[in-house]
Structures are given as structure tokens and as C-alpha cells.
Structure 1
Amino acid sequence: MKKILLPTDFSANAWNATKYAISLYKDEECTFYVLNTYTPTIAHSRFMASAVTGKACEDVVKCNSEKGLKQLLERIEKEFPNAKHKFVPISSFSLLVDEVKNIIEAKNIDLVITGTKGATGLEEVFMGSNSVRIIKSVKNCPVLAIPQYFKFKTPSEIAFATDFNRFYTTSELQPLLEMAKSFKAAIRIVHVQYEIKSLTEVQQFNLNMLRKYLKEVEHYVHTVSELNSVSKTLEVFSNELGIHLLAMLNYQHSYMEKMTREPVIKRMAFHTQIPLLVIPELGMGTPPHSKHKKQGSVTDTLMDQ
């Protein structure tokens, strides 16, 4: 049984992520841990007794959290009844990222699915949001971020962005392979280059190994020239090829790191509205946590499978 963690703040984007998760795994037996965290409101008036006020505030926010989870689960049961799905509410007096990490360890979570705020622009969608904090902090579990207005589509086209500079392990690629096999999806390996040129020996070796790992699924390799920024390039690529989900490995100097650090003025906004699967760096010998050519235009080099 797959174990999914769904952080929620009861917002529209959190509900959209919940709907996506339920739809994505509608045919699989899953336990969904629905998490809401809370902290007491800090009293600003120096005339109020801090001890009494703190306790009162904590009681109020605790009740609101528990009530919100109860209403959310009732809504799920009404709109998405599914005998294969079990929902476990968790109301926690804690900081969100800390509790997410704790639950991943305690419950052996396979995947975290979270909503992202903002309609357009990586700045609005990720920067400073809970999603990017989770992505940067969680080191042993994949995170799937769902844009606020994305309507569910079965992911039959998955893009995997890489520069081939790093050797991937089978453990790190497992979430990507599982997704592709589950939905009979094609994986489009996309390599963004500032200037189109031949791969180095190391890059070619890593590409060959990557294709060996992906031999059981349909896959293609695309080389694209960078348009202003990596994020802008991936946006155009995803739009042109009708990509349903973008996957990246999150490690030092990776595309994911570069995307979250690109200056806004250079980035020209990351308008992609597709889910982003962020796979943590595990390294050699580390088991996964779960059990289980012209500048200014995009050019493709499609290699035979």
C-alpha cells in the first residue's frame, strides 16, 4: 500500500493538490496522511497576560485545525469515494517543515504531494512558499508540487531535466520509473545547454547509463538551447511537447537548484503550469526511503530509443 503525505492549510491550492493526488492514485491502494500544522497566535499587547493568552490562542487554533481536517475528510468522502483509499488526519502543534520530516520517518512515506500558490511565475509559485521550503528540506522522499490551477491529466508525457554531469543511481531514479510504468508514460530526457555542443566523455557515459536504467520504458533524449534561463527553456519545451509532469533530481548545481536561484529579471518568469516532481539526492549505495542550435530558439535532437 502506497503512503502519501498531503500537507494542507485548507486553501484552494491545497485542495487542488489533494484532488490531484486522489485522481493520480485512484486505482491503487493508498493511505493518505492529511497534515495540518498550527502555532498559537502571538499576542502583541503588553497588557495581556502572555501565559493565559497563549493557552487560549493555542486552544482556538487547535480546534480550528481539527475542525478543518474533519470537514476536509468529509468533503473527500463525498466527492471522491474510493474503497482503495484510507485517509488519516494529523493535526500538529509544530512548524510545517519539521512535522513533514517527522512524518516521513515515522510513517515511511513514499511521496509528499503539496500545492503551490500563484497562477504564473516561479517567483509566485515557489519562492518563499511552503513548497520550496519542503523541497529544500526533505532529503529522503520525493516531493510532487501541484500548481494551483492545474487540472488533473494522467501523466503520459514526463520530462526529466538533466545535464548528464552526474551519475544517477537506481534508487534515485525509482520514483521516476514507478511513475512511468504506472501510467505507461513516455519519459523525455531534456538537456538544456547554453550553447549546443557535443557531450563530454563523462556526460556520454552518464547518458548511456541513464538509458540503460530506463530501458523498460519508452524514452527519448532532447537537447535544447537555453532561452534566457533554464526555467524559461523548460517552460517552452513543456508547452511545445505537451508535457504533463516535469521531474528533476535535487542536488548541488542541479537544474532545480539553479531554477530556484535564477534572478527574477533574468528568469522572465516561469509560466509552466505543470506538476513538478522533485527527487532527492540519495547517492551511491543509499537505499530510497520508501520501500518500494540557434540561440533564442528551441531545437530538438531526438535520439532513437
Structure 2
Amino acid sequence: MNILLPTDFSQNSWNAISYAVDFFKNIHANFYIIHINNLELEEVVSNGNVIEKKKSNTTIQSFQILLQKLQQHETNAKHNFYTSVEDGNFIESIRLHVVEKSINFIVMGTQGNSNFKEATVGSHTTDVITKVKCPILVVPENARYKSVSEIAFPTDFNTGYKTKIVSTLKRVSHFNQSALSVLYVSKKSEELSEIQQNNKLFLQGQLQDIPHSFHYKVNSTLEEAVQSFVVQHDVQMIAMMAKNLNFFQHILFHPVAKKISYHKEIPFLVLHE
């Protein structure tokens, strides 16, 4: 198993790395921790003069601190760690690593050093989710690892499930012997269409070899339905298909009401075809 861990040395980034090490504790894994310097120079104004300096001034020191934290983290003989620093376009660098290192999963925090806290998910993480076709585990700032006994999979059954989506779901379930809860949400009580019913039956057949269940919630908003389900079933992870933009935008990118807290506490697994 090969895991890519992009880092900007923020606390949220370290939290994602720590979570990944614990989540994959039962798996033989290679962790590739990378820091990508943007080639553009930033301008700093000092006494009225513009001074150019590269953004990577403190990279070496930051990596030393990160490695010290890893050494203090519980060691695992099944894990190997590799670090690298490079210059270039962020997304292109990520894509290159995915191909060259045969990356199985990317793990990132929801926010980095941008301090733009109004957004549920930061710009770099959003770009990776939407532009890199690799499963990505997004770890919120308040998420702390505990055994993942239940994974929620919100879906509207309108989109077919490709083999890669189902196999990744089952693979993740096997990591920690997790049960998968498929959640269908509707604004009003109504029967599934023929297409929805066929997709549901297909998914049922594909999930026979892992613990799973199907649930139906009626709620005016998807976010409230997910929040309620997460609390009632003590969900430790939420899985979603990147292709299902409606669910995607509402669960991850939609402005969040105060009573919605899952986006700060529950990791999201984004699946690509």
C-alpha cells in the first residue's frame, strides 16, 4: 500500500498525517510525505521596499520538526516513511507522484496555512479532490483517530457504481473490519425510480462479502440528515463518490450551519472512478 501525504507543516496537516498512520496501522504501507514549493515568488514589503524571497525558507527546519513528531508517534514495523521537497505546480506534482509511486490513497487535512477558515475545505485540498483521480481521505481539524467501526456512504442511487468505487469501499472496510452503512436521503417519502432501484440492487449484490446495511432518512436538507445519522450511528468516516456533485457540494462545500458539526470531526473518503 502506498500513501501520499502532502504537507504544508500546518497543525491541520500534521493531524492528517497522524490520523493516516493510525488508520493504516494494520496495513503494510509506504508513506510518501511531500512538501511542494510553488515556483512563484512572494513579495514582502519592508520599509517601503519590495523584497523577493522564496516561500521555502523554513522548509528544512519544518521537516525536521515533523520527523521528530513522527518518531514520538507510536512506531509501527509495517510502515516505511519517505520525505521529499520539490518545486512546481501543486496539482501537477501530486498527479506525478500518484503515477510514479503507484499511490493508492492520498491523505490531507481540510485546511492548511491559508487561514481562510470560512471555507469548509481549503483550496489545495479542494483542487486535489476535484482534479486528481485517486481516492483521498480528507481529515478535518478536530478529527482524532478511533477505531473505524462504521463508515457511512450517502448516495441518491441515481449514479451507477463502477467496479473501482465498490472495490475501494470494500478495501477500506477491510482495513479496520468496518461496517458500511449506505444512506439514502430524500426530502419527502417517495419510492425509488427504476434506475435507482436497479443501482441499489447492484450495490447490494456487490457488498455481500462485507458487513453492510441500508438506511433511508427523510429530511429537508442533506447536511442535517447526515449530521443526524452520524450521531445516531456513531459514524467514524463518511465515504462519497466524487462523480456525485450534488452530494459532494452539499456535504463538503456547502456553507455549514452551526448545528452541523460532522465536517469538523469526521474524516471524508472521496472515491474516484
TM-score normalised over the length of structure 1: 0.79
Q: Distance in 2 between matches of 1:253 and 1:18?
A: 27
Distance 1:258 1:26 in 2: 31
Higher deviation after alignment, 74-83 or 244-253 = 74-83
Report the equivalent of 1:301.
none
CA shift for structure 1 position 5: 0.6
Q: Which residue of 1 aligns with 2:32?
A: 33
- Residue equivalent to 2:271: 279
Matches within 5 A, 1:153-302: 153-227=146-220, 229-260=221-252, 262=254, 264=255, 267-269=256-258, 270-272=260-262, 273-280=265-272, 282=273
Distance 1:63 1:29, change over 3 A: farther
- Identify the residue that residue 99 of structure 2 maps to in structure 1: 105
Query: What do residues 172-215 of structure 1 show as CA deviations (whole Å, max 9, x unaligned)?
Result: 11221011122111111000111121111111111010011100
How far 1:123 moved relative to its partner?
5.1
Taking only the aligned residue pairs, the percentage that are identical comes to 27
User: 1:268 deviation in Å?
Assistant: 2.4
* C-alpha distance after superposition, 1:68-110 (max 9, x if no partner): 2233123212323222211111212123333222211221110
Deviation per residue, 1:100-132 (Å, 9 max, x gap): 2221122111000111239xxx95431x43222
Instruction: Give, as a single letter, the amino acid of the residue that structure 2 aligns with 1:7.
Output: P
**How far apart, CA to CA, are the structure 1 residues paired with 2:213 and 2:94?**
35
Distance 1:83 1:44 in 2: 45
1:248–1:277 contact (8 Å) kept in structure 2: yes
Measure how far apart 1:259 and its partner are: 3.4
SS in 1 for 2:43: coil
| 1:7 equivalenced with 2:2 (yes/no) | no
Distance 1:124 1:9 in 2: 18
Deviates more, 1:185-194 or 1:99-108: 99-108
Q: What is the number of residues matched between the two proteins?
A: 264
Of 94-103 and 24-33, the range deviating more from structure 2:
94-103
Q: Amino acid of the residue matched to residue 201 of structure 2?
A: N
Q: SS at 1:62's partner residue? A: coil
Matching residue of 1:22: 21
Q: Pick one of 74, 77, 85 that aligns with 2:71.
A: 77
Q: Helix, strand or coil for the counterpart of 1:32?
A: strand
Residue 36 of structure 1, CA deviation: 1.1
* 8 A Cα contact 1:36 1:90, kept in partner: yes
- Secondary structure of the structure 1 residue equivalent to 2:85: strand
- TM-score of the superposition, structure 2-length normalised? 0.88
Q: How big is the shift at 1:260? A: 4.7
Contact 1:37 1:65 in 2 (8 A): no
Corresponding residue for residue 86 of structure 1: 80
Q: Please tell me the residue identity of whatever aligns with 2:15.
A: N
Aligned to 1:125: 120
- What do you get for the CA RMSD once the two structures are aligned? 2.3
More displaced 10-residue stretch of structure 1: 190-199 or 89-98: 89-98
Separation in structure 1 between the aligned mates of residue 74 and residue 153 of structure 2, nearest angstrom: 30
Task: Measure the CA separation in 1 of the matches of 2:212 and 2:141.
Answer: 29
Q: Is the 8 A contact 1:62 1:93 kept in 2?
A: no
Q: Distance in 2 between matches of 1:186 and 1:252?
A: 22
Structure of higher CA gyration radius: 1
Is 1:135 aligned to residue 129 of structure 2? yes
Counterparts of 1:29 and 1:129 in 2: how far apart (Å)? 31
Q: Please identify which structure carries the higher strand content.
A: 2
